[in-house]
Amino acid sequence: MRSSLEEKHVSGHERIVKDSEIESTLLELYKRGSRKDFDLLNIKLQKITQPIKYLERTLKIENLNFNDYKEANEFAMELICKKTFIPKNVLNNIIYLVHSGCGIGKNMRGAMVVNQQGKRLEKDKEKGIRTSMVDFVNRNKVLEILKEKGFTERTLDALALSTKNLSFEGMLAEYCISDEPDYITGYVAVDGIYYRITPLKKEGNFFGGRIYFVKNDVDIDTLYYYLKNEPVLIKDIQV
């Protein structure tokens, strides 16, 4: 589902479901899209013909709170430096990009891809790369568990994306902040853990985005193909 207003993207969502769930899912997607004002809402249905990869469980959630977003970003950078060996000053500049409009004065549509030399590898610097084709075998059950623990539907979607991302052999870590100005919780995914960090961005900031940190020898076409086209279903959650 994609909705827009005056040709500007407003919201998007994707599900992988069985035939028997199509009707109810269409309604869910419509309801989700209509939470925000739009003048165009498209819902597209696509049959999955390729084999589905099943992952046993999500990354494990570690929920962490900090005094302010600067302190939180210091912690986030430590995690990423340790894994990627990108020098701190280089990493700092890369992370600053998603807090300040990605060098193009607006949010990228997808994620930045950065290797261990701190070099950006996206094929298109405005589009970036979008992870899609990922869902839970039983999304409602997982959502219920997360909500009981005080997490949100955003956590559910982000956890699915980051679990697929880190299941790619050449992916080392992911950094994410929301582009919603009042959603200040973000995360770093690394070594099987989803570090859910509050606050990872400054309240009121309209900028946000994702950075995928990859190995130097990553094959960019294989990475794009896996993240965009290979269907992945996750069976269970770790909280």
Chain residues binding ligand PML by CB under 6 A are 152, 154-155, 158, 176, 178, 180, 183, 185-187, 196
**Min CB(179)–ligand PML separation in Å:** 6
C-beta closer to ligand PML: residue 77 or 159: 159
The single residue listed with the structure tokens 């340790």 is 82
CA atoms of 187 and 190, how far apart (whole Å) = 10
Measured on CA atoms in the order 137, 138, 143, 149, is the torsion positive or negative?
Answer: negative
Longest dimension (CA), the chain: 52
C-beta closer to ligand PML: residue 151 or 226: 151
C-beta closer to ligand PML: residue 132 or 155: 155
- Identity (one letter) of the amino acid at 51? P
Q: Helix/strand/coil (H, E, C) string of 28-49?
A: HHHHHHCCCCCCEEECCCCCCC
Closest CA to 8 of 33, 35, 40, 31: 40
C-beta closer to ligand PML: residue 168 or 209: 209
**Min CB(74)–ligand PML separation in Å:** 19
C-beta closer to ligand PML: residue 132 or 218: 132
**Min CB(37)–ligand PML separation in Å:** 18
Measured on CA atoms in the order 115, 117, 122, 128, is the torsion positive or negative?
Answer: positive
**Min CB(18)–ligand PML separation in Å:** 26
**Other C-beta atoms within 10 Å of 107: how many?**
17
Residues 41 and 3: beta-carbon distance below 8 Å: yes
**Min CB(183)–ligand PML separation in Å:** 6
Of how many residues is the chain composed? 239
CA atoms of 10 and 7, how far apart (whole Å) = 9
**Min CB(156)–ligand PML separation in Å:** 8
C-beta closer to ligand PML: residue 80 or 218: 80
